[in-house]
């Protein structure tokens, strides 16, 4: 296919939806969105594939729709990975340079040394993200190649995930005749699309509130310092409505999106909502404030868990640019106001940025991961193309895949 080289596809296999986003890379490097396909996701629980058949079916539908819209045949995708099995560690490596000057090979060796840590047998490395280099005790070096020195150190953030979860994602893609170009931690993908470089430099916490999980990433001085997954998301809020309003999950989700709020104090007691009920009973009118009182404690609890995680990470005082909320559940009315109260930091909502083409179609926090996968893929391809040293230090996806399959 003639357009093959300039097409990058992001496949976000979420707990609520599967989104396939197609972008064309212009000659000047601009990322233009040219197609999107979306389908409800039924085969995942809390970010992890638990039913291959239904996941494959949903991926197929999303891919077909995206292919039709973009008028391309999709063969290769950048895919996201998430779930409670994900672990993030900070590690440290030291080597002696070979010739008194740092080479790309020294950088690859020092990152390899930082990776040497005890990882449980059922976990596999997904990312090794250098945070900076130290040459002969001189700290804060971002581009070490070519500098003089004998002792090269690095600090890295290592992300690992369950081998079986990664294998299941690859299996689902392969069953849809798709090759996996790379597998990316979902909040790392989202951070590509919603965070600015300034925010990452100043210090920021990204909170991607999805359906099944809430994914966190902390950036300080331009590098990722901490990642975590909290197994609470919008589906729990929907379930709270199901229990409280005695309506179906489908109706509860619709009501939540249309009339829900997690700040009961901002809603007038006079406002009412018609709630459809199960078993053929007539709909019931109920104050909107009551619905908000059902949703608020869950969002409050979630933000408190996020705050505790941030405090535990030790970076609370360093996220001067504040908190960026994204993911579908960040659309719930009152989310930003509640986050303002809990975090006592600047809070904003993050939509995908830095793209052209069909911008309006993906202009929602729901597509932060899908668009971010493309931007991650674009960066990765550019680095490879221009022979940058960064990719060498990150284990190649192909060798990682071989490890996963024991080959
Ligand atoms: N306007 C809205 N108001 C409130 N909630 C919303 C709105 N739109 C979507 N949601 C909720 O967002 C959630 C889905 O978000 P998203 O698409 O980011 O999840 P996902 O990526 O599929 O899941 P995960 O990342 O957890 O695997 C659902 O719980 C849905 O009800
Ligand atoms: Mg998601």
Residue 400: pLDDT band (50, 70, 90) is low
Q: Is the pLDDT of residue 388 over 90?
A: no
How far is ligand 1, taken at its centre, from the CA of residue 177, in Å? Answer: 27
Cβ neighbours for 34, distance < 8 A, ≥ 6 positions apart: 22, 23, 24, 69, 70, 72, 357, 358
How many whole angstroms separate alpha carbon 123 and alpha carbon 164?
Answer: 8
Per-residue pLDDT at 98 exceeds 80: yes
> Which band of pLDDT confidence, cut at 50, 70 and 90, is reported for residue 385?
very low
Neighbours of 385 (CB within 10 A): 9
Which three-class secondary structure state does DSSP give residue 309?
A: helix
Q: 28 CA to middle of ligand 1, Å?
A: 34
Indicate whether residue 329 lines ligand 1 (CB < 6 A).
yes
Domain boundaries, the chain: 87-160, 197-349
Average pLDDT on 138-153 reads 96
Q: Residue 256: CB within 6 Å of ligand 1? A: yes
For residue 401, the model assigns a pLDDT of 52
Please indicate whether residue 210, judged by its CB atom, sits closer than 6 Å to ligand 1.
yes
Residue 42 has pLDDT above 60, yes or no: yes
* Measured distance between the N- and C-terminal CA atoms of the chain, rounded to whole angstroms: 30
**Residue 88 near ligand 1, beta carbon < 6 Å:** no
pLDDT of residue 256: 98
Q: What is the mean pLDDT of the chain?
A: 92
The finding on whether 260 has its CB within 6 A of some atom of ligand 1 is yes
- Give domain 197-349's CATH superfamily: ATPase, nucleotide binding domain (3.30.420.40)
Does position 396 have pLDDT exceeding 80, yes or no? no
- What CATH architecture does domain 87-160 belong to? 2-Layer Sandwich (3.30)
- Retrieve residue 399's tokens: 């060798």
Cα separation, 59 vs 56, in Å, equals 5
Tell which wins on pLDDT, 396 or 371.
371
Q: How far is the CA of 187 from the centre of ligand 1 (A)?
A: 14
Pick the more confident residue, 391 or 304: 304
Q: What pLDDT, on a 0 to 100 scale, did the predictor assign at position 386?
A: 39
Q: How confident is the model at residue 269 (pLDDT cuts 50, 70, 90)?
A: very high
Residue-wise pLDDT tens digits, 275-303:
988 888 889 999 999 999 999 999 999 99
Ranges assigned E (strand) in 178-243? 179-185, 204-209, 214-220, 223-230
- What is the CA 105 to chain-centroid distance, rounded? 30
Looking at residue 380, its pLDDT comes to 80
Q: Which atom of ligand 1 is nearest to the CA of 44?
A: 27
Burial grade of 406 (CB within 10 A; 0-12, 13-18, 19 or more): exposed
What is the CA(257)–ligand 1 centre distance, in A? Answer: 9
> Atom 28 (ligand 1): residue with closest C-alpha?
211
């Amino acid at each position: 296919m003639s357009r093959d080289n300039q097409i990058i596809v992001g496949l976000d296999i979420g707990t609520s939806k599967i989104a396939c986003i197609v972008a064309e890379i212009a000659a000047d490097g601009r990322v233009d969105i040219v197609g999107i396909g979306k389908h409800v996701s039924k085969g995942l629980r809390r970010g992890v594939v638990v039913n291959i058949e239904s996941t494959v079916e949903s991926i197929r539908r999303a891919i077909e729709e995206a292919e039709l819209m973009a008028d391309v045949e999709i063969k290769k995708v950048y895919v996201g990975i998430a779930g409670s099995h994900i672990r993030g560690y900070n590690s440290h490596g030291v080597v002696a340079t070979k010739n008194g000057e740092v080479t790309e090979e020294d950088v690859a060796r020092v990152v390899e040394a930082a990776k040497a840590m005890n990882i449980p047998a059922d976990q596999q490395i997904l990312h090794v993200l250098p945070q900076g280099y130290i040459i002969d005790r001189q700290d804060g070096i971002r581009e070490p190649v070519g500098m003089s020195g004998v002792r090269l150190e690095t600090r890295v953030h290592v992300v690992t995930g369950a081998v079986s979860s990664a294998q299941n994602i690859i299996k689902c893609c392969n069953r849809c005749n798709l090759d996996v170009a790379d597998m990316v931690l979902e909040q790392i993908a989202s951070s590509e699309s919603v965070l600015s470089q300034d925010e990452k430099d100043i210090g920021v916490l990204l909170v991607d509130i999805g359906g099944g999980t809430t994914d966190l990433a902390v950036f300080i001085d331009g590098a990722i310092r901490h990642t975590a997954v909290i197994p609470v998301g919008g589906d729990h809020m929907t379930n709270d409505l199901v229990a409280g309003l005695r309506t179906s999950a489908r109706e509860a989700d619709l009501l939540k999106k249309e009339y829900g709020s997690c700040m009961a104090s901002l809603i007038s007691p006079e406002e009412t909502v018609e709630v459809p009920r199960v078993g053929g009973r007539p709909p019931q009118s109920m104050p909107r404030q009551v619905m908000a009182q059902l949703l608020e404690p869950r969002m409050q609890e979630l933000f408190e868990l996020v705050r505790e995680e941030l405090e535990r990470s030790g970076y609370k005082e360093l996220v001067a640019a504040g908190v960026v909320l994204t993911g579908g559940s960040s659309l719930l009315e009152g989310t930003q106001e509640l986050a303002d109260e809990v975090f006592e930091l600047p809070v904003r909502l993050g939509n995908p940025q830095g793209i052209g083409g069909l911008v309006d179609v993906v202009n929602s926090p729901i597509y932060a991961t899908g668009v971010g996968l493309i931007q991650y893929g674009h960066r990765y391809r550019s680095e490879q193309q221009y022979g940058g040293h960064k990719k060498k230090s990150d284990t190649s996806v192909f060798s990682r895949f071989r490890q996963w399959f024991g080959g």
